A and B are shown apart, each in its own frame.
Chain A
Amino acid sequence: MNNVSYQIENNVRLSCDVLVIGSGAGGASAAKVLVDHGFDVLMVEEGPYVPAGQGPSELHESFATQWRNAGITAALGKPTVAYAEGRCVGGGTEINSAIIQQTPESLLEDWARKYKIRDFGPQQLQPYYDDVKRIVNSSLTPPPLGRASELLREAGEKMGWRVTEVERGQRGCVGANMCTHGCPSRGRQSMLNTILPEALGKGMRLISDCRVSRLVVEGGRVTRAVAKAKDGQGKHHTVIIWPKQVFVCAGAIYTPHLLRRSGIKKNVGNTLKMHPTVKVMGVFPEKVDAHLSRFPLYAVTEFMPNMRMGGSLISLSLAGIYCGEDWSTRGWMMDKLENIASYYSMVRSDGSGYVRPVMNFAEPLVTYRLTKRDWHWLTLGSSKLAQALFAAGATHVYPSIQSHSGWHDQASCTEFLDRGLPQSKTRLMSVHLFSSCPMGEDDTWSATDSFGNVHGVANLTLADASQIPEAPGTNPQGTIMALALRNARAYCEKREIAA
């Protein structure tokens, strides 16, 4: 069927106990709890259904089908930060590297105190993290990890830093190096490989290619959701859904976008946070073959939670994107594909951004402003990472700065330490966005209570990255899933008590 559980060919009206909007890490986790408690769950997903393991073979095709706006999304500011989100059944978990990390305990304690969040300390969240790890089989990836991984480990160790091998949601990863286009071997334990088939088997209904445009709030309750679903011929049909309860799990951009479009504006979309990331490409005299093996599976955790260094996928096309920043100084590397590897420094930003719907446009306007502290860490991160790569034997290191001619030794990569990275030329990107609808008991600044229930709307709960109070400095999938499980269980317990 075109839309998974339905073949939408006309305008339709549906009803359910719980409507879950979004099928990524948050939506799927919330749906699992709700289905297990016997609720009649209807899940809607804006993106298409791409069966697990059947993703496109090329990245540009994957962008068109599985990524939001064909991979062209940006938070405006100085500079513009490119960000990426999944837009398919399974959401971001179908295009990420499935790294599962817990938010540091000190941060959780700090957030609980600072934002007055009930039952939120490390001890209270640990059972949820344990459930997440079990669901996605969070584990170390089977060896061999590849030379690009080893080089990052050697680089960190030579600098005397703490280096950690990262756990991933994987079961028998065979290292196809195609995480970004829907793992072809199904080794990555995305939502399509774990929760969603189980929930569908237990009676959950799922409509793909269906975008909720607004929630109708009457008398302090959401009475219905208005959506448009696309049929097999690309025609759009109106879908009206009458739910008893709504879980919005559309991510840090589209959750506040939907809420604001529905007239729910209090503390919504004002506090977007992210992990701005600066990439560097290292050229080594030895054969690394990073394009044929797994992405680097070690992380330099010495500077966490302020900054983390790691490695990313490289392929001929991704190398082309880096070199395309300036062919005259970098073009030669295209003939050295087997010698290059890609790494990054990811910063826990304390900057902030807005998400605002714009009348008559489907996409929101997203802005982000980095702080001096963010630039300090980005500068330090790129410089230190380059130093470490030289220590591991790199002959050239190229930061992602427009027209930069690259660094050729350890001394040269300190050039920005005094004056900072050139803000207009540095190309920043982020795949981690959070905090746009923060939780807490103080409704002067929070959008929801401690369990995701939106202030002033009786039957509306959030369960996604928008709830994380600040940037965690770690890969967020584990925390998103843990919070979604927690919020959904709190709802179920409340219903059981009421019954």
Chain B
Amino acid sequence: MKHPIITAMMPFAALLSAEEDERLKREISSFLSRAIRNAPWFVQAAALILTPLLWVFLLPSIIIAKGEASAFHVKCRKTVLFLSIWGGPFASLIQLYQYLCALYYYEHPIILQRYGLEPPALRQERYRKIREKMILENP
């Protein structure tokens, strides 16, 4: 029942084992901290003030779910959806967290592998070679 904020932003991770899920959420958590540190001061201020409040809103989900992972997930997501409907800075912060979590999650090698997609570094290299060959043939 760790990382309720990240859980609330993510799809239910049927693709992952419990350990993989935990590891990914840890990594997303550290990515979120890094990204917020690089954000403008007003975003940092909003995150500093509103994140603990978001945590408080998500607290009942932990209690209601009683240790059941999928119930916890559903509760967290519903809470976030409810909060984001009202607009304002709270919704903007949720939007930012949703965006960052999805970005990191779907670029993670484990997830790319589950979707059968080529690792981006290999893709880059493949296209470099294609163009090099093209330039050699048509300088």
Across the two chains, which residue of chain B brings its CB closest to A185? Answer: B131
Give residues 417-464 of A contacting B (CB, 8 Å).
424-425, 427
- What 0/1 readout, one digit per residue, does chain B (29-57) give for beta carbons within 8 Å of chain A? 00100111011111100000000000000
Interface centre among A53, A74, A185, A361 (most CB of B within 10 A): A185
Contact A403-B81, Cβ < 8 Å, known A60-B31, A185-B127, A331-B11: yes
Across the two chains, which residue of chain A brings its CB closest to B89? Answer: A80
Interface centre among B35, B36, B111, B127 (most CB of A within 10 A): B127
- Name the one of B88, B95, B123, B130 contacting A427, with C-beta atoms under 8 angstroms: B95
A365 close to B (CB within 8 Å): yes
Question: A317 contacts B39, CB within 8 Å?
Answer: no
Question: A324 contacts B84, CB within 8 Å?
Answer: no
Specify which chain B residues have a CB less than 8 angstroms from the CB of A63 in the assembled complex. 35, 103
How many chain A residues touch B (CB < 8 A): the figure is: 50
B134 close to A (CB within 8 Å): yes
Question: A176 contacts B123, CB within 8 Å?
Answer: yes
Question: A316 contacts B84, CB within 8 Å?
Answer: no
Question: A424 contacts B87, CB within 8 Å?
Answer: yes
- Name the one of A172, A321, A403, A425 contacting B99, with C-beta atoms under 8 angstroms: A321
Question: A402 contacts B41, CB within 8 Å?
Answer: no
Specify which chain B residues have a CB less than 8 angstroms from the CB of A331 in the assembled complex. 11
Contact A69-B102, Cβ < 8 Å, known A53-B128, A60-B107, A185-B130: no
Across the two chains, which residue of chain A brings its CB closest to B40? Answer: A363
Across the two chains, which residue of chain A brings its CB closest to B84? Answer: A402
Q: Report how many A-B pairs have Cβ atoms within 8 Å.
A: 134
Give residues 21-60 of A contacting B (CB, 8 Å).
53, 57-60
Cα A73 to Cα B38 in complex, Å, equals 10
Cα A328 to Cα B82 in complex, Å, equals 12
Question: A316 contacts B115, CB within 8 Å?
Answer: yes
Question: B105 contacts A320, CB within 8 Å?
Answer: yes
Question: B106 contacts A320, CB within 8 Å?
Answer: yes
Specify which chain B residues have a CB less than 8 angstroms from the CB of A73 in the assembled complex. 40
Interface centre among B31, B104, B124 (most CB of A within 10 A): B124
Question: A327 contacts B131, CB within 8 Å?
Answer: no
Tell me how far the C-beta of A387 lies from the nearest C-beta in chain B, rounded to whole angstroms: 27
Cα A315 to Cα B111 in complex, Å, equals 13
A200 close to B (CB within 8 Å): no
Cα A178 to Cα B35 in complex, Å, equals 21
A325 close to B (CB within 8 Å): yes
- What 0/1 readout, one digit per residue, does chain A (304-348) give for beta carbons within 8 Å of chain B? 000000000001110111011111100100100100000000000
Question: A174 contacts B38, CB within 8 Å?
Answer: no
Question: A79 contacts B11, CB within 8 Å?
Answer: no
Question: A57 contacts B84, CB within 8 Å?
Answer: no
A64 close to B (CB within 8 Å): yes
Tell me how far the C-beta of B22 lies from the nearest C-beta in chain A, rounded to whole angstroms: 19
Specify which chain A residues have a CB less than 8 angstroms from the CB of B96 in the assembled complex. 72
- Name the one of B81, B112, B124 contacting A184, with C-beta atoms under 8 angstroms: B124
Question: A317 contacts B106, CB within 8 Å?
Answer: yes
Cα A320 to Cα B81 in complex, Å, equals 16
Specify which chain A residues have a CB less than 8 angstroms from the CB of B119 in the assembled complex. 57
Specify which chain A residues have a CB less than 8 angstroms from the CB of B31 in the assembled complex. 60
Question: B103 contacts A425, CB within 8 Å?
Answer: no
Cα A323 to Cα B105 in complex, Å, equals 13
Across the two chains, which residue of chain A brings its CB closest to B123? Answer: A176
Contact A64-B34, Cβ < 8 Å, known A317-B107, A365-B42: yes
Cα A70 to Cα B96 in complex, Å, equals 12
- What 0/1 readout, one digit per residue, does chain B (10-25) give for beta carbons within 8 Å of chain A? 1100000000000000
Question: A174 contacts B131, CB within 8 Å?
Answer: yes
Tell me how far the C-beta of B2 lies from the nearest C-beta in chain A, rounded to whole angstroms: 19
Question: A174 contacts B134, CB within 8 Å?
Answer: yes
Specify which chain A residues have a CB less than 8 angstroms from the CB of B112 in the assembled complex. 316
Cα A343 to Cα B11 in complex, Å, equals 23
Question: A321 contacts B102, CB within 8 Å?
Answer: yes
Question: B134 contacts A172, CB within 8 Å?
Answer: yes
Tell me how far the C-beta of A383 lies from the nearest C-beta in chain B, rounded to whole angstroms: 21
B58 close to A (CB within 8 Å): no
Question: B77 contacts A76, CB within 8 Å?
Answer: no
A187 close to B (CB within 8 Å): yes
Question: B106 contacts A176, CB within 8 Å?
Answer: no
Specify which chain A residues have a CB less than 8 angstroms from the CB of B84 in the assembled complex. 402-403
Tell me how far the C-beta of B62 lies from the nearest C-beta in chain A, rounded to whole angstroms: 19
Cα A337 to Cα B118 in complex, Å, equals 14
Specify which chain B residues have a CB less than 8 angstroms from the CB of A328 in the assembled complex. 77, 81
Specify which chain A residues have a CB less than 8 angstroms from the CB of B42 in the assembled complex. 76, 363, 365
Tell me how far the C-beta of A95 lies from the nearest C-beta in chain B, rounded to whole angstroms: 15
Question: B128 contacts A185, CB within 8 Å?
Answer: yes
Cα A362 to Cα B41 in complex, Å, equals 8
Cα A79 to Cα B88 in complex, Å, equals 8
Task: List 13 additional contacts besides A53-B128, A317-B104; criterion CB under 8 Å.
Answer: A57-B121, A57-B124, A60-B104, A178-B123, A185-B127, A185-B130, A316-B112, A317-B105, A321-B102, A324-B10, A328-B77, A363-B41, A402-B84
The 7 closest A-B pairs by CB, nearest first: A424-B87, A320-B102, A185-B131, A176-B127, A320-B106, A70-B38, A57-B120
B interface vs A, CB < 8 Å? 9-11, 31, 34-36, 38-43, 77, 81, 84-88, 91-92, 95-96, 98-99, 101-107, 111-112, 115, 117, 119-121, 123-125, 127-128, 130-131, 134-135, 138
